[in-house]
Amino acid sequence: MDLKICTVKVKAIGDETVDGTFQAYASVFDNVDSYGDVVRKGAFERTLAEWAEKDEKLPLLWGHDFYDPFSNIGHIEEAKEDEHGLWVEGVLDLENPKAAQVYRLIKGGRVAQMSFAFDTESSRRGTVDGVDVNELLDLTLYEVSVVPLGANAETEILAVKHGLKAGRVLSAKNETALRSALEQIQSGVTAVNTVLAAVGESEDDSKASGSEPAKTNEEPAGVKPVEEPTRTPPAPKRLQLDLAIGELETIKS
């Protein structure tokens, strides 16, 4: 399996795409790269047809990392050949922290290359402007990657959709879970406060009367009575609940 690396240039960031999607040319036809290879039109025709028949998506990886599941940062939703090259629409999984970071790198212009892994099924020797080249005629495509280094300066990202707000990625599913957790915590705190208030009133009434409750079933001499557990939660626990509520309220807003 070989790797073909191409430079990516951010051209536009618009609102015409779905969150986390981008369009780019992963390969450009008839351009001689630093390896002396030239991809010819039609090189991806067969492999794209095969991927279209599969019940799976062409992977979008970070740095050709097949082993770290978090490096699988998304998938290629659509891929096709046109007169310019291999056009792809990728979808970044913004719930994946690494994919979200890659999005920020692309958006900020700190990462500007793409690459793809392939096998050469058919090629031939040729010349371009008097220079010997290797013409790639039929390729089997395995994945497309965003990478920090490149060799071909002709590809470009056409559009990237803003999918991060205030540096935070929060899916609808996660938001629902957090809101539910917040409601449960608030209900629990209300119940605890009610119990604490009742205990406080009972103690105040006992002190005001100046009498001790009658003792029944006194313990035999020499036997240590069982101590009742403290009913009032320690202050640190209350503080932790308050902090948790404050943090969830911040996310909720």
The pTM of the full predicted model, rounded to 2 decimals, is 0.58
SS (H, E, C) 36-77: CEEECCCCCHHHHHHHHHCCCCEEEEECCCCCCHHHEEEEEE
3-state secondary structure of 122: strand
Each residue's pLDDT expressed in tens, for the chain with a length of 253 residues: 666 655 554 443 445 445 788 888 888 899 888 889 999 999 999 999 999 999 899 999 998 999 999 999 999 999 999 999 999 888 999 999 999 999 888 888 788 788 899 999 999 999 998 989 999 999 999 999 988 765 455 655 665 655 444 344 444 555 566 667 777 787 777 777 777 777 666 666 655 665 555 554 554 444 444 444 445 445 555 555 555 565 555 555 5
CA distances (Å), 165 to each of 80, 171, 250, in order? 31, 11, 14
3-state secondary structure of 211: coil
